[in-house]
Amino acid sequence: MATASRIARVVVCDAGPLIHLDELDSLRLLCDFPSVLVPEVVWAEAERHRPHLFDTSSPSFARVTPQHPPRPALAALSRLMPLHSGETQALQIAEEHGADLLLTDDTAARLAARELQLPVHGTLGILLRAIRRGQRSAQQVLDLVRAIPERSTLHIKPSLLLEVMAEVERTLG
């Protein structure tokens, strides 16, 4: 059952979650958001990995390009981390549009988002959120989480994945 919590209105997505959710046949979990902004560079990267990813009209993806050069703080972080162009553009779009949520699976990009005080989560968060939002049952999500190593290119340490599944079972079982 969906809770009454406020849904993120402005969501920006990096390539990782798009690709990983598609690999897990779970892209539709993003339908819970009014629209998902996909930076131009990210769009091309995701399409290169998953050519039919954007064929669907649902979720509602919007292809966007940055309107200004990156702020000095972001430009510096991008060089220091270092970040790829897609990750930098995702952070830039998130800043420009005042994103409620940035989705990325890249550790450096998440670190940069934290520095820029942008709310950020990844594929795993979206999968687990599906239980809270009533999109999937706990068992369905556990099956997806268990399938991550075989069905997706998302890398999570096996022992940590077991810990995640145990926590889901403990909390919701």
Partner 1 sequence: MTTSIRAEIPDRLVQQAAILVHDGWASDLDEILIDALRRYLSSHSAELSETFVREDLEWGLRGDG
Q: How far is the CB of 55 from partner 1 (least distance, A)?
A: 27
Q: How far is the CB of 37 from partner 1 (least distance, A)?
A: 16
Q: How far is the CB of 134 from partner 1 (least distance, A)?
A: 13
Cβ proximity to partner 1: between 47 and 115 the closer is 115
Which residues have C-beta within 8 Å of that of residue 57, sequence separation ≥ 6? none
Strand runs (DSSP E) across the chain, as ranges? 10-13, 35-39, 61-64, 101-103, 120-121
Cβ proximity to partner 1: between 42 and 101 the closer is 101
Residue carrying the six token digits 């290169």: 48
Q: What's at 38, amino acid-wise?
A: V
- Given a contact cutoff of 8 angstroms between Cβ atoms, the answer to whether 105 and 29 are in contact is no
Applying CB under 8 A, which residues contact partner 1? 5-8, 80-82, 100-101, 107-108, 110-111, 119, 121-122, 124-132, 156-157, 160, 164, 167-168, 171-172
Cβ proximity to partner 1: between 43 and 88 the closer is 88
- Given a contact cutoff of 8 angstroms between Cβ atoms, the answer to whether 66 and 94 are in contact is no
Backbone angles phi, psi at 28, to 5 degrees: -65, -15
* Rounded CA separation 73/47 (Å): 29
Cβ proximity to partner 1: between 89 and 123 the closer is 123
Q: How far is the CB of 144 from partner 1 (least distance, A)?
A: 12
